[in-house]
Copies of this chain bind each other. A is one copy, B any other.
């Protein structure tokens, strides 16, 4: 197969022009590989591992060419002409060889089944995601898989854990596991603060949640206090830098570990590269793990109203947990991390790769 084939290049150029996101012929190929195994837009986004905007723009282009049809119910179908093009280009359907037991995460819940059950019990009445803070939480199995991963790495048992933003309720799963010495949640949403503190009190967990906006300085008593941090940051570059910088500021030095999720749905590979440069260059930490599709998110109510696109194949309710992120683990080396713990004003939620559209976010905040 030849990556330089004119057709894929042409679509990639068109998509890049329309979205402002760097797009290669290979990215188009990944979308066409996905389109051969699912007719559901959100699953194509998941399989192609491309920004949502890139996938919708590419499919819109294919539709205009007559290669893809949108059905009555919003599902996608390759036309005879579309199938012919794909065959000519030699693009194979995406294969799936992920492990069915761990869903590709590599860690097992075998020894933590009781924890999964307890976690579901105590979080049954959890607050639902709201647009204002760009929330969206992971499945209980994902949350406990994070506990398994941290235990496997020696980052949780007997350790001090900082959770920066916690709509996933990792703090409660960690507390319920009985392993960490101390868990501190810093969170902006009062509903979550109240919920976490209430459960922690009732279950006698070593977990405390405090109000915090990560644009503010990390409070002095937490600087250098923790062994491990975990966070699921918004994905503008500014938000990533500040959020990860605060987490690293919380660690006690060399050997401290950080965990965070990064998606493809809202972050192009070009943004991934910039995040990686920040981590290993400026911050001087090492990336020890990148586990694709580790985090599976439960669908949230505000998705369709919050996006800009009104394309009929995009405006369909997701039928599966399509939104995923890779789990990164980073570790601090001897060199001090270069990050100034000072207040930072920045755009947290919206860039050209974000799902949420700026106007809908403003409206949600009453700024519209």
Contacts and interface: CB of A to CB of B under 8 A. Distances in A.
Interface of A: 1-4, 22, 24-27, 29-30, 33, 90-92, 94-102, 104-108, 110-112, 148-149, 151-152, 154, 157-160, 179, 181, 227, 252-256, 269-270, 272-273, 276-277, 280-281, 284-292, 326, 331, 333-334
Contacts of A334: 22, 24, 270
Given A27-B255, A96-B152, A105-B106, 20 more contacts: A1-B227, A3-B227, A3-B254, A24-B253, A25-B255, A26-B331, A92-B154, A92-B179, A95-B152, A95-B157, A97-B111, A99-B108, A106-B106, A273-B286, A276-B286, A281-B281, A287-B287, A289-B290, A289-B291, A289-B326
A158 B253 contact: no
A273 B256 contact: no
A196 to B, nearest CB: 23
Contact of A287 (B98, B157, B276): B276
A97 B92 contact: no
A255 B22 CA distance: 12
Contacts of A100: 101, 108, 110
B254 A148 contact: no
A333 B254 contact: no
A92 B150 CA distance: 13
Contacts of A25: 254-255
A181 B277 CA distance: 34
Contacts of A277: 280-281
Give 7 closest A-B pairs by Cβ, nearest first: A26-B255, A99-B102, A24-B254, A97-B148, A92-B157, A104-B106, A276-B280
A151 B92 CA distance: 10
A85 B285 CA distance: 29
Given A3-B256, A99-B105, A289 B292 contact: yes
A1 B155 CA distance: 11
A123 to B, nearest CB: 21
A272 B254 contact: no
A15 to B, nearest CB: 13
Contacts of A96: 152
A141 B218 CA distance: 47
A98 B290 CA distance: 15
Contacts of A110: 97, 100
A224 to B, nearest CB: 9
A221 to B, nearest CB: 15
Contacts of A326: 288-289
Given A255-B25, A284-B273, A33 B154 contact: yes
A158 B1 contact: yes
Contacts of A286: 269-270, 272-273, 276
Which of A98, A152, A255, A287 has the most CB atoms of chain B within a 10 A radius of its CB? A255
6 contacts: A24-B333, A91-B158, A97-B149, A97-B152, A104-B106, A289-B326
A16 to B, nearest CB: 9
A26 B1 CA distance: 47
A259 to B, nearest CB: 13
B290 A288 contact: yes
Contact of A290 (B91, B104, B281, B287): B287
A97 B149 CA distance: 7
B4 A253 contact: yes
A160 to B, nearest CB: 7
Contacts of A91: 158
